């Protein structure tokens, strides 16, 4: 078997990359460890930056997103029991869009099937056999039990934080940077109208952080900060709803419609970056290269901006007549991607530090958070900087 680019992972990074390459006339094969149903069953992010919307539209998968996505012109931050709006459109002339990662993935899977580009689901034991020398070679066990292999010009490692691509790199060739946070997020999905249908609500409270988001006019997504030692069984619905409301301002709390949860999970929070993002013929993108805590709603957006850049570099590489692994365009990918990655890491770390209750926090730490929140709402400049980061920083490419 032979193709131009092998993409490992059919999450948002892998599928958007496959679609962008296909539209640029570049053949690609996607290898995914799980079945399509399993990939679609993972409930994750829900807020898209305008640049991500633009990328998806340009990739030809924007129709349902534009019809069903819910634009948010503002967000809100609760502190000291009061809700303060932050008007994104007025501050920076940009907005964000509520549209679930599951729906994006579904749209991308359909587009891929229509494109005729091949996808191997349930590919077990994916191994990078070569990515340094004259060709890239990747092998896997198919559902037929047979070991298959493909030769390609390039490999895109889009296989998430626990994937095989980053793990294949010798430790000496890579530097990693990490911060683990001493709490997690308990997420609940429920088929009830959202408490705040036009703005995500981020709540700072003595009881810990809480977040009100949505997937549609009839589907709500809520989160509360919880200790890392907690299990989902510790949080029956009867405990979750009063705790959520106790962390919100009275108006938002009164608007919460309770209902049976259809999904409940606990995710740890982490910041992580691997440098560089290129090793010979292997290019990392999305969670395979970096993780942000979800407070800034950035993980999915960063995965999309990585692969938009990678697709551009690969297209430039082939346009320059290169079929092998060397060109100026490919050499530039890692540095260009990392500039944006670190800017987003900073915002996500800062927003997490500002809004959560840390176990070791003393009175001084709490006062610093309060003072910072006061300064955010006392200054148009500070709110503008927040809005710029939240809606997506523009980078010249």
Report if residue 138 touches ligand PHB, rule: CB under 6 A. Answer: no
- Told to judge if 298 belongs to the known catalytic residues of this protein, a careful annotator would answer yes
160 binds, among ligand PHB, ligand RFL, none (CB under 5 to 8 A by kind): ligand RFL
Candidates 22, 221, 278, 340; binder of ligand PHB (CB under 6 A) is 221
Report if residue 291 touches ligand PHB, rule: CB under 6 A. Answer: no
Q: Which stretch binds ligand RFL (CB under 6 A): 64-72, 148-156, 298-306, 353-361?
A: 298-306
Nearest Cα residue to 237 out of 204, 295, 293, 191: 191
Report if residue 78 touches ligand PHB, rule: CB under 6 A. Answer: no
Candidates 29, 195, 297, 309; binder of ligand RFL (CB under 6 A) is 297
Could you tell me the strand order of the sheet in which 136-141 lies? Answer: 124-130, 136-141, 147-152
Q: Which stretch binds ligand PHB (CB under 6 A): 151-159, 294-302, 312-320, 368-376?
A: 294-302
Bridge-based pairing state of the strands 5-8 and 28-31 = parallel
Terminal-to-terminal C-alpha distance of the chain: 34
Report if residue 45 touches ligand PHB, rule: CB under 6 A. Answer: yes
Report if residue 9 touches ligand RFL, rule: CB under 6 A. Answer: yes
Residue labelled with tokens 């809004």:
355
Candidates 32, 74, 249, 345; binder of ligand RFL (CB under 6 A) is 32
Candidates 15, 47, 311, 387; binder of ligand PHB (CB under 6 A) is 47
CA distances 43 to 105, 151, 264, 306, 313, Å, are: 11, 33, 9, 21, 31
- Provide, for the chain, the percentages of residues in helix, strand and coil under a 3-state DSSP scheme, each rounded to the nearest 5: 40, 30, 30
- Residues that bind ligand PHB (rule: CB under 6 A) add up to a total of 10
User: Of 79, 245, 294, 318, which one is the catalytic site residue?
Assistant: 294
The residues, any chain, with a CB within 8 Å of residue 211's CB and separated by 6 or more, are 185, 200, 201, 202, 203, 222, 223, 224
Report if residue 226 touches ligand PHB, rule: CB under 6 A. Answer: no
User: What is the distance, to the nearest Å, from the Cα of residue 217 to the centroid of all Cα atoms in its chain?
Assistant: 22
Report if residue 109 touches ligand RFL, rule: CB under 6 A. Answer: no
Residue labelled with tokens 């749209």:
107
Nearest Cα residue to 159 out of 7, 9, 5: 9
Smallest distance, ligand RFL to C-beta of residue 279, A: 16
Interaction site with ligand RFL (CB under 6 A): 8-14, 31-34, 39, 44-45, 101, 123, 126, 158-161, 163-164, 267, 286-287, 294, 297-300, 303
């Amino acid at each position: 078997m032979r193709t131009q680019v092998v993409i490992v992972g059919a999450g948002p990074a892998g599928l958007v990359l496959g679609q962008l390459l296909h539209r640029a006339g570049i053949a690609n094969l996607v290898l995914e460890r799980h079945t399509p149903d399993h990939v679609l069953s993972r409930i994750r992010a829900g807020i898209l930056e305008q640049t991500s919307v633009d990328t998806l539209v340009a990739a030809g998968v924007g129709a349902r997103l534009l019809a069903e996505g819910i634009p948010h012109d503002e967000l809100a931050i609760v502190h000291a029991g009061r809700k303060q709006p932050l008007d994104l459109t007025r501050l920076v002339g940009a907005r964000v869009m509520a549209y679930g990662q599951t729906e994006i993935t579904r749209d991308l899977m359909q587009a891929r099937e229509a494109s005729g580009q091949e996808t191997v689901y349930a590919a077990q034991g994916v191994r990078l056999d070569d990515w340094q020398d004259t060709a890239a070679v990747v092998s896997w066990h198919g559902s037929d039990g047979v070991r298959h292999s493909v030769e390609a010009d390039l490999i895109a490692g889009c296989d998430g934080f626990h994937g095989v691509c980053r793990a294949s790199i010798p430790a000496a060739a890579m530097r990693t940077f990490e911060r683990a946070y001493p709490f997690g997020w308990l997420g609940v999905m429920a088929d009830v109208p959202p408490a705040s249908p036009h703005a995500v609500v981020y709540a700072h409270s003595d009881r810990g952080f809480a977040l009100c988001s949505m997937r549609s006019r009839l589907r709500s997504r809520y989160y509360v900060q919880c200790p890392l030692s907690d299990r989902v069984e510790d949080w029956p619905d009867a405990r979750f709803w009063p705790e959520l409301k106790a962390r919100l301002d009275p108006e938002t709390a009164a608007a919460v419609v309770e209902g049976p949860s259809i999904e409940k999970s606990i995710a740890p929070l982490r910041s992580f970056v691997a440098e560089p993002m290129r090793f010979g013929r292997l290019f990392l993108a999305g969670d395979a290269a970096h993780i942000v805590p979800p407070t800034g709603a950035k993980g999915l957006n960063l995965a999309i901006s990585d692969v938009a850049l990678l697709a551009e570099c690969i297209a430039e590489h082939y346009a320059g007549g290169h079929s092998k692994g060397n060109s100026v365009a490919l050499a530039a990918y890692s540095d260009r991607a990392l500039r944006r990655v670190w800017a987003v890491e900073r915002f996500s770390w800062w927003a997490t530090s500002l809004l959560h209750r840390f176990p070791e926090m003393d009175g001084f730490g709490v006062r610093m958070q309060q003072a910072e929140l006061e300064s955010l709402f006392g200054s148009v400049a500070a709110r503008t900087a927040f809005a710029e980061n939240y809606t997506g920083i523009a980078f010249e490419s």
